Structure 1
Amino acid sequence: MTLDQLDRGQRATVLAVDWSAIAPDDAKRLQAMGIDAGARVAVAHRGVFGGADPIALIVGRMTVAVRRLHAAAMEIDPA
């Protein structure tokens, strides 16, 4: 399952990230915010337009907005 499929309010652990599917600058920013394998995340909100972009994630004590494309590159274990 990928992060873009996670329901609002549900928590998960990031198992792997396909960094090749994400632009290098965006990948650096995501890693700097702690989004990498092993991170615990939860979906706080989803955008209301079109493809529900962006997705607001809770990572630790931060809320981070990520694009649906980025979330689709992250394999997760919902728990």
Structure 2
Amino acid sequence: MTLKDLKPGQSGIVESIGQKGPIRRRLMDMGVTPGVKVEVIKVAPLGDPIEINIRGYELSLRKDEAQNIVLK
């Protein structure tokens, strides 16, 4: 399951970040690292972006970024 698959109110634990390179580095710099809990707060009316709560702050991600985050 990926972060893109979660609905508002659902949560999961990050298992891995699937993509290599600058996108992975950017996500890790924002606090998306293996073992951290993420919760989907809301999804924009047209479905993109999604807002998540991670490490006590809200972060908005595009769905193409969220599909690279694999959850347990």
TM-score (norm: length of structure 2): 0.89
Which is richer in helix? 1
Structure 1 residue 74: deviation in Å? 1.0
Letter in 2 for 1:71: A
Q: How many residues align?
A: 72
Structure 1 gap segments, 5+ residues each: none
Percent of residue pairs identical: 28
| 2-structure distance, mates of 1:30, 1:74 | 9
Counterpart among 41, 57, 67 of residue 62 in structure 2? 67
In the alignment, structure 2 segments of 5+ residues that lack a partner are: none
Structure-1-length-normalised TM-score: 0.81
Partner of 1:19: 19
Structure 1 moving runs of 4+ over 3 Å: none
Report the Cα distance in structure 1 between the residues aligned to 2:12 and 2:36, rounded to whole angstroms.
8
- Given residue 73 of structure 1, which amino acid in structure 2 is its aligned partner? N
Q: RMSD in angstroms over aligned alpha carbons?
A: 1.3
